[in-house]
């Protein structure tokens, strides 16, 4: 091991004393040091329009699941009877109901970030 002669150590830059940091100081905050926005993502008071729109969306998603997997509706049922039910028509009707409700309540629901994609689809249906 080689040592630097004491006379040459004066030429080296002095180390800054650590301020008690348990990690290296990179001159910028590390990701875990950043302040996270913990504010509510939606208004604090409950909104009945929002709750009803969520229920309509949940119903449409359930119908989409059944349309893609009709055996989930009745696992012990007859496959021919399950195939006879037109879930896609029900799904289209449920989506139209949801979009009509969102259009009717745009002044209230337009501020919610989770409805932004639906409103974008409603405003620009040809861009999908």
Domain presence at residue 25: no
User: pTM to 2 decimals?
Assistant: 0.60
**91 domain-assigned:** yes
62 belongs to a structural domain:
yes
The confidence score (pLDDT) of residue 81 equals: 77
End-to-end CA distance of the chain: 67
Q: Is residue 117 part of a domain?
A: no
Domain assignment present for residue 1? The answer is no
| Kind and range of the H or E run holding 122 | helix 116-123
Judge whether 53 lies within some domain. yes
Tally the domains of the chain: 1
pLDDT digits (tens, 9 = 90+) for 60-96: 999 999 888 888 877 777 777 777 788 899 999 999 9
Neighbours of 91 (CB within 10 A): 20
- pLDDT tens digits, 47-59: 899 999 999 999 9
Q: Please give the residue range of the domain that contains residue 100.
A: 48-111
In a domain, 9, yes or no: no
The mean of the pLDDT values for the chain is 78
């Amino acid at each position: 091991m080689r040592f630097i002669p004491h006379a040459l150590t004066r030429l080296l830059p002095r180390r800054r004393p650590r301020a008690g940091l348990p990690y290296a100081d990179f001159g910028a905050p590390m990701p875990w040091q950043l302040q996270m926005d913990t504010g509510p993502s939606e208004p604090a008071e409950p909104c009945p329009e929002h709750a009803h729109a969520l229920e309509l969306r949940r119903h449409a998603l359930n119908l989409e699941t059944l349309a893609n997997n009709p055996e989930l509706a009745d696992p012990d049922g007859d496959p021919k009877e399950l195939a006879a039910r037109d879930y896609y028509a029900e799904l289209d009707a449920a989506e139209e109901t949801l979009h009509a409700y969102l259009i009717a309540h745009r002044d209230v629901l337009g501020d919610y970030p989770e409805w932004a994609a639906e409103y974008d689809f409603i405003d620009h249906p040809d861009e999908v």
